[in-house]
Amino acid sequence: MSAPILFIFLPGLMAVALLFVMRQNGWATGLASALCLVLALLAWQMPIDTTIQIGPLSFKVASAIVIFGRRFVLQNTDRAFLTLVYSLGFVWFFGANFARPGRLFWPFGLGMITLLVAAQAVEPFLYAALLIEMAVLLSIPMLNPPGRPVGQGSLRYLIMQTLAVPFILLAGWTSTAIDASPNDPLLLLQGAIFFGLGFALWLAVFPFYTWVPLLTSETNPYVSGFVLSFIPGVVFFMALGFLDTYTWLRDNPNLPTVFQLVGTLMVVTGGIWAAFQNDLKRAFGYAVIFESGFALISLGLHTTVGLEAFATALVPRFLGLVLFAFTLSLFEQAGIKPTLEGVKGSVRRMPFASSALLIAYFSMGGLPLLAGFPIRQAIIEAVAGQSIPLLSWILIGSSSYWAGGFRVLAAMVNAVQPNWEIGEKWFSALMCSAGITAIVLIGLLPGVVLPGLLDLIQVYSHLK
């Protein structure tokens, strides 16, 4: 037995098996979420490349497997990543039974996770670009379920993600050339440009992010939330891996400035556009852009604090995304159009979903006492120590984003419906309550949960 077989091939087989039960939501949910839970627990508890003794039984899980001469490696240092990915998979697949994202969600979603884990495991790095592209291709049928017209957002998403592949492959080729002649300034510039363009397209970085709000507005919010949490999440880790591996890139003096400037532009534009949105699904897209901006800023700090802020922000980010997407799906299922007009008075009809949506929105905005706040505060403090103008722009972006949240709040508590007519299903309400509790608990006790996430960055020893 080897870790790649357990964490890549087993879920891959399950994804194929799910194709046969995808019309039975309960079965699909049960199988996909149970497998993800088991894999998350195994990744958390089971050491790799170490002999494990259970009673008379003794075995060792190898870290590598060779396919067509290429190695897929999952080591002990990858266990935190695997735990995070499969825990999130569990949450998304479990919630899907109530969010009704379409029958393709379970098999294609699990297939996508499998390919993303394979991308993290494959050596050398450049093969990861091709595996991520395959994950993107798998996500397209999920985003555009049968019987619905295809929107421009999906096409733009497909175009942007596919355009990234050549740049990443060329970045890989350039890095090999740089290893041979490390002082060639033209090669260094070429490598930085290929790397920058490739990751900018993948991560939907300014100015390549126009497809994000378009995609969220046209597709099922739960599916778009799933795609937007996994693909950029894993690509961020790949970017860290690239930075950690290549000294020429890590030592580029312009890189932190570029990260900070682009991140700030995303925070400002995402925040301001979110403030003026009437469509909550588009606001969800801008919230994703806003979050990605902060992730870039934290990496651009080029300090241990920045890297730690990036890692610890992952759980609040994913919790915010899943709760936001889940509640938008609940509104759509209840026949409530997710617009400011549509959600007027929704607190009296769907109090749990309305509260959860607001909590998720404000947590992603970094409102005090919610999960996003401790990390946001650390980033803002660190930026304040480096550049006051940048800090001012970040505060403008954040205030605008909050203003958008207060507009949603005002619409939801509007007295257009004076009487309480609660029409929520008890289990959906329970899920919303669990999400709210998790976000508030992390906000109140960040020291309990978040330090565990620092294991995610142990592997990037050169970046600390």
Partner 1 sequence: MNFSQAAILAVPILMVTSLVLLVGLDWRGTQIALSIQYAGMFWLVTLSWPVGMAAVKLVVGLMAGAVLATTQPGTNPGETGSLPLSGRIFRVLAALLVWIVIFSTIQPIIGLLHTGLPTGLGGVILMGMGLLQMGMNRQPARVVIGLLTFLSGFEILYAALENSVLVAGLLAAINLGLALVGAYLATAASMEPDI
Sheet containing 70-73: order of strands: 64-67, 70-73, 122-123
Interatomic CA distance for residues 168 and 133, integer angstroms: 11
Q: Does 146 help bind partner 1 (rule: CB under 8 A)?
A: yes
Q: Does 64 help bind partner 1 (rule: CB under 8 A)?
A: no
Among 154, 229, 264, 363, binds partner 1 (CB under 8 A): 154
Q: Does 309 help bind partner 1 (rule: CB under 8 A)?
A: no
SS3 12: helix
- Max distance between CA atoms of the chain, in angstroms, equals 74
Q: Following DSSP, what letter does each residue of 56-97 receive, concatenated?
A: TEEEE-BSEEEETTEEEE--GGGHHHHHHHHHHHHHHHHHHH
Nearest approach, Cβ of 34 to partner 1 (angstroms)? 23
Question: How many beta carbons lie within 10 A of that of residue 451, not counting itself?
Answer: 12
* Span from 155-163, 263-271, 354-362, 380-388 in contact with partner 1 (CB under 8 A): 155-163
Q: Does 55 help bind partner 1 (rule: CB under 8 A)?
A: no
Interatomic CA distance for residues 451 and 57, integer angstroms: 34
Q: Does 311 help bind partner 1 (rule: CB under 8 A)?
A: no
Nearest approach, Cβ of 153 to partner 1 (angstroms)? 12
Task: Specify the residue, 23 or 51, whose C-beta has the smaller distance to partner 1.
Answer: 23
DSSP code for 2: B
Contact in structure between 203 and 242 (CB atoms under 8 Å): no
Encoded tokens for 103: 């029958």
Task: Specify the residue, 178 or 287, whose C-beta has the smaller distance to partner 1.
Answer: 178
* Span from 157-165, 201-209, 247-255, 313-321 in contact with partner 1 (CB under 8 A): 157-165
Closest-CA residue to 246 (of 199, 205, 209, 291): 199
Among 14, 43, 80, 158, binds partner 1 (CB under 8 A): 158
Which residues sit opposite 57 in a β-bridge?
54
Encoded tokens for 45: 């508890």
Task: Specify the residue, 222 or 318, whose C-beta has the smaller distance to partner 1.
Answer: 222
Q: Does 103 help bind partner 1 (rule: CB under 8 A)?
A: yes
Contact in structure between 324 and 360 (CB atoms under 8 Å): yes
Q: Do strands 70-73 and 64-67 pair parallel, antiparallel, or not at all (unpaired)?
A: antiparallel
Q: Does 130 help bind partner 1 (rule: CB under 8 A)?
A: yes
Among 46, 65, 163, 334, binds partner 1 (CB under 8 A): 163
Task: Specify the residue, 59 or 68, whose C-beta has the smaller distance to partner 1.
Answer: 68
Q: Does 166 help bind partner 1 (rule: CB under 8 A)?
A: yes
By CB under 8 A, what part of segment 182-221 binds partner 1?
Answer: 186, 190
Q: Does 258 help bind partner 1 (rule: CB under 8 A)?
A: no
Among 10, 41, 126, 305, binds partner 1 (CB under 8 A): 126
* Span from 165-173, 201-209, 211-219, 313-321 in contact with partner 1 (CB under 8 A): 165-173
Interatomic CA distance for residues 375 and 194, integer angstroms: 31
- Omega prior to 207 cis, within 30 of 0: yes
Q: Do strands 70-73 and 51-54 pair parallel, antiparallel, or not at all (unpaired)?
A: unpaired
Contact in structure between 402 and 287 (CB atoms under 8 Å): no
Among 60, 148, 337, 464, binds partner 1 (CB under 8 A): 148
Nearest approach, Cβ of 325 to partner 1 (angstroms)? 17
Q: Residue 417: which residues within 8 A CB-CB, separation 6 or more?
A: 344, 345, 348, 349
Interatomic CA distance for residues 114 and 8, integer angstroms: 5
Nearest approach, Cβ of 71 to partner 1 (angstroms)? 11
Would you put residue 147 in left (φ > 0), alpha (ψ -120 to 50) or beta?
left
Q: Does 335 help bind partner 1 (rule: CB under 8 A)?
A: no
DSSP code for 459: T
Among 18, 42, 61, 170, binds partner 1 (CB under 8 A): 170
* Span from 147-155, 300-308, 373-381, 419-427 in contact with partner 1 (CB under 8 A): 147-155
Among 33, 87, 114, 144, binds partner 1 (CB under 8 A): 144
| Residues in binding contact with partner 1, number by CB under 8 A | 35
DSSP code for 6: I
* Span from 36-44, 68-76, 360-368, 371-379 in contact with partner 1 (CB under 8 A): 68-76
DSSP code for 190: H
* Span from 3-11, 143-151, 199-207, 325-333 in contact with partner 1 (CB under 8 A): 143-151
Among 165, 274, 347, 378, binds partner 1 (CB under 8 A): 165
* Sites of contact with partner 1 (CB under 8 A): 68-70, 102-103, 126-127, 130-131, 133-134, 137, 140-141, 144-150, 152, 154-155, 158-159, 162-163, 165-166, 169-170, 173, 186, 190
